[in-house]
Amino acid sequence: MPVEQAPILPMGWLSGESQGDMHGNEMTMGRIAVGVSITSSLERKASIDCTALVDTGAAFMVLPNAWKERLGNPNLIRTVDRETATQQSIQGDVRGPVEIGIEGFEPVCSEVLFLEMESVEGAYEPLLGYIVLEQAQAVVDMSEHRLVHVRKVDLK
């Protein structure tokens, strides 16, 4: 069975103007979007390739419920209440285990949070949160609007 590829955000859809940096990260008005590959650790043929918005205010890799089956419907770990940027409270399912690969970084084993999301022009806006960024040793370079690798894992 072929793996269906998730829709990728078209360049510039966030503000009408986009440019890429030298690392392939999409940049729009101070926003950083990166290529991400998510693979089920239990069902290796189930995977999603997408563009995700780096959101250091989000804890998890956040995906729309509509994509759950693309990952082979991973194990439910827990249900959590989540507060959005607009202070709306919603429930989501934390599922896993999954392998998450951020373009330009080594893949990590983690979990994903599935939420109900509205699509914009047929595309969703997955979020790449701080837990996965820390696992991948990736930090946001605010001056260059990109992700950069840190050599040492923060243990303090």
> What string of DSSP letters covers 49-113?
EEEEEE-TT--SEEEEGGGGGGGT-PEEEEEEEEE-TT--EEEEEEEEEEEEEETTS--EEEEEE
Domains observed in the chain: 19-149 (2.40.70.10)
**Per-residue pLDDT at 3:** 36
Closest CA to 53 of 9, 92, 96: 9
Below-70 pLDDT ranges, the chain: 1-29
**Per-residue pLDDT at 24:** 53
Residues 6+ apart with CB under 8 A from 88: none
pTM for the model? 0.79
pLDDT one-digit tens code per residue, 51-88: 999 999 999 999 999 999 999 989 999 999 988 778 88
**Per-residue pLDDT at 11:** 33
At 112, phi and psi to the nearest 5? -125, 155
**Per-residue pLDDT at 17:** 38
Give me the residue label for tokens 């926003």: 31
